[in-house]
A and B are shown apart, each in its own frame.
Chain A
Amino acid sequence: DTEVTQTPKHLVMGMTNKKSLKCEQHMGHRAMYWYKQKAKKPPELMFVYSYEKLSINESVPSRFSPECPNSSLLNLHLHALQPEDSALYLCASSYSFLRVYSTDTQYFGPGTRLTVL
């Protein structure tokens, strides 16, 4: 089973709202990722968690706040977003994340389509 699940599928929020995106995997993967994807573009890395600790933050604005409650779950808390933050937000996981041997396949979830009004 190589399934990563994400909820919700779609989310519409105003610029003053607070919402959260959720991601779950039960493959025993210890690395989890958040990506942002704009239409007709490849995914862009936002955050990497390795063994439940934040390893990488790709200079993402603080209005995006990731959280990894346990090895199977990954959240992305959203607050005071801008319309240009509207995009498909993808979660991915891989067996591990090691800078010196980063050849573990990343498996993606279906994404959350976010619209900021």
Chain B
Amino acid sequence: GESVGLHLPTLSVQEGDNSIINCAYSNSASDYFIWYKQESGKGPQFIIDIRSNMDKRQGQRVTVLLNKTVKHLSLQIAATQPGDSAVYFCAENHSGGSNYKLTFGKGTLLTVNP
């Protein structure tokens, strides 16, 4: 079936390093992708999104890359800080069809070591 998944369930990095969190999706009709950050005990927080007519989008310290050829999405966090420690979910949706809801990946736990 259609799914959005993550390559790595956990990622541990040193403070100051760059982090890369990966996500694979299987629905070639997906045209909208979102990254959410969820800290312990809190709701998912929107980080950045990208539509399928783009292959890169940058925010503050974050960059999302979309490779439609291999159906792969990544989130890059520059100069990772302890406050970046959280679970990161990718989510996808597509216009039209019957798939009206966001499909979430399983999540990657990012731990930043001081």
A99 touches B100 (CB 8 A): yes
Q: Please, how many angstroms separate the alpha-carbon atoms of A102 and B100 in the complex? A: 6
Q: Verify if B45 is at the interface (C-beta below 8 Å from A).
A: yes
Query: How far does the Cβ of A90 sit from chain B's closest Cβ, in whole Å?
Result: 5
Chain A residues whose CB sits within 8 angstroms of the CB of B94 once the complex forms? 102
A110 touches B102 (CB 8 A): no
Q: Verify if B36 is at the interface (C-beta below 8 Å from A).
A: yes
Q: Verify if B93 is at the interface (C-beta below 8 Å from A).
A: yes
Chain B residues whose CB sits within 8 angstroms of the CB of A66 once the complex forms? none
Which of B13-21, B60-68, B74-82, B104-112 is found at the contact surface with chain A?
B104-112
Chain B residues whose CB sits within 8 angstroms of the CB of A105 once the complex forms? 34, 46, 49
B43 touches A109 (CB 8 A): yes
Query: How far does the Cβ of B34 sit from chain A's closest Cβ, in whole Å?
Result: 6
A42 touches B106 (CB 8 A): yes
The interface size bin for chain A is: 20 to 34
Digitize B46-67: 1 where CB-to-A-CB distance is under 8 Å, 0 elsewhere.
1001010000000000000000
Q: Please, how many angstroms separate the alpha-carbon atoms of A32 and B80 in the complex? A: 33
B43's nearest neighbour on chain A, judged by CB, is A108
B95 touches A103 (CB 8 A): yes
A102 touches B43 (CB 8 A): no
A residues 81-117 near B (Cβ < 8 Å) are 88, 90, 97, 99-103, 105-111, 113
Query: How far does the Cβ of B42 sit from chain A's closest Cβ, in whole Å?
Result: 5
Chain B residues whose CB sits within 8 angstroms of the CB of A97 once the complex forms? 100
B9's nearest neighbour on chain A, judged by CB, is A40
Chain B residues whose CB sits within 8 angstroms of the CB of A56 once the complex forms? 100-101
B residues sitting closer than 8 Å to A (CB atoms) are 31-32, 34, 36, 41-46, 49, 51, 89, 91, 93-96, 98, 100-102, 104-107
Supply 19 further A-B pairs (C-beta < 8 A) apart from A6-B43, A45-B102, A105-B49: A40-B107, A42-B105, A43-B104, A56-B101, A90-B43, A90-B44, A99-B96, A99-B98, A101-B96, A102-B32, A103-B31, A103-B32, A103-B95, A105-B34, A105-B46, A108-B43, A108-B46, A110-B42, A111-B43
17 contacts between A and B (CB under 8 A): A4-B43, A6-B43, A40-B107, A42-B89, A88-B43, A90-B44, A99-B96, A102-B32, A102-B95, A102-B100, A103-B32, A103-B93, A105-B49, A108-B43, A108-B45, A109-B43, A111-B43
